[in-house]
Amino acid sequence: MTTTRSTSTIILIAGHWLGAWAWDHVLESLEGGDSRVLAMTLPGLDIDDPKRATRTLEDQVDAIEDTLVRLEVSQDQPTTLVAHSGANAPVSLILDRHPELVHRVVWVDSGPMANGSVFAPDLPEELVELPLPPFDVLAQQASLEGLSKEDLERFRTKAVPEPGPVLRQTVELTNDARHTVPTTLVCCSISSTQVMDMTRGGHPMFAEVAKLESLEVIDLPTGHWPMWSRAGDLAKIITSAASAASVPGPQTGPSGDL
């Protein structure tokens, strides 16, 4: 984990194959600001953990809860949660269980999961973990736009296989109060227009967005890993989100360069 100290709290959680290291460039822009910032490595994504491949979504939720306690997050001093990509599963569970502890959630090229969702329901039971695929295969699933050769080399070198139990576990949500948490959608590889069209059409990836009571939608055109391709701009969005008040209804933010 990496931390900076100040008043309010921002917690950064990256998606599949990634740890706290994925936020290094964003942290460079956030450090020295008005917020304490922490980047997490979720259980299952620490290469030095001998039980890494057996970690579950519940283990990841427990780790986030422990972090909230350690940082003394409370209803009076809630946190801003930033979730990239596949971090949406544990963060959706946190919003369900502790909505009062979250000032705002920022989904980075991601979005809230629905009750009963499973990230990879067809993943074979015998598959212990899912390594980072070759980039030509990955590019068919998520945009690599904006990533340099150095970015890709670092990604390949530092990526940790995703535990099978995390990918197969059902996300069970029961608390509608999660929909009241102010939300910022940062749209990168899928534009805000496409996201909202999918939301209105009930697409499983974004159906939950229609239920949100306070929503800000911001375009940050780039690939699926903006913490590398547009780190400074993403840091500005996170800083703004952490200080933003709740605004009812959908709000469309700036598109392109900030």
CATH number at residue 216: 3.40.50.1820
Q: How far is CA 152 from CA 113, 121, 140, in A?
A: 28, 28, 15
Q: Is residue 26 part of a domain?
A: yes
pLDDT of residue 244: 77
Q: Is residue 76 part of a domain?
A: yes
> Does pLDDT of 69 surpass 90?
yes
Q: Is residue 258 part of a domain?
A: no
- What does the mean pLDDT of the chain come to? 92
Give the percent of the chain with pLDDT over 70: 91
Q: Is residue 103 part of a domain?
A: yes
Check if the beta carbon of residue 73 is closer than 8 Å to that of residue 66: no
Q: Is residue 141 part of a domain?
A: yes
pLDDT digits (tens, 9 = 90+) for 108-134: 999 999 999 999 999 999 999 999 999
Q: Is residue 202 part of a domain?
A: yes
> Residue 130: enclosing H or E segment and its boundaries?
strand 129-130
pLDDT of residue 31: 77
Of how many residues is the chain composed? 258
| pLDDT band, residue 35 (cuts 50/70/90) | confident
Check if the beta carbon of residue 208 is closer than 8 Å to that of residue 113: yes
Mean per-residue pLDDT, 58-73? 97
| pLDDT band, residue 256 (cuts 50/70/90) | very low
Which structural domain, as residue segments, surrounds residue 101? Answer: 2-252
pLDDT digits (tens, 9 = 90+) for 202-214: 999 999 999 999 9
What global pTM score does this model have? 0.92
> Does pLDDT of 252 surpass 80?
no
> Does pLDDT of 251 surpass 60?
no
pLDDT of residue 257: 40
Instruction: Tell me which amino acid residue 108 is.
Output: V
Q: Which two tokens stand for residue 30?
A: 């956030």
Q: Domain count for the chain, please give it.
A: 1
| pLDDT band, residue 34 (cuts 50/70/90) | confident
Check if the beta carbon of residue 35 is closer than 8 Å to that of residue 242: yes
pLDDT digits (tens, 9 = 90+) for 128-154: 999 999 999 999 999 999 999 999 999
Q: Is residue 19 part of a domain?
A: yes
Q: Nearest to residue 210, comparing CAs of 194, 224, 192, 196?
A: 196
Q: Nearest to residue 57, comparing CAs of 111, 96, 20?
A: 96
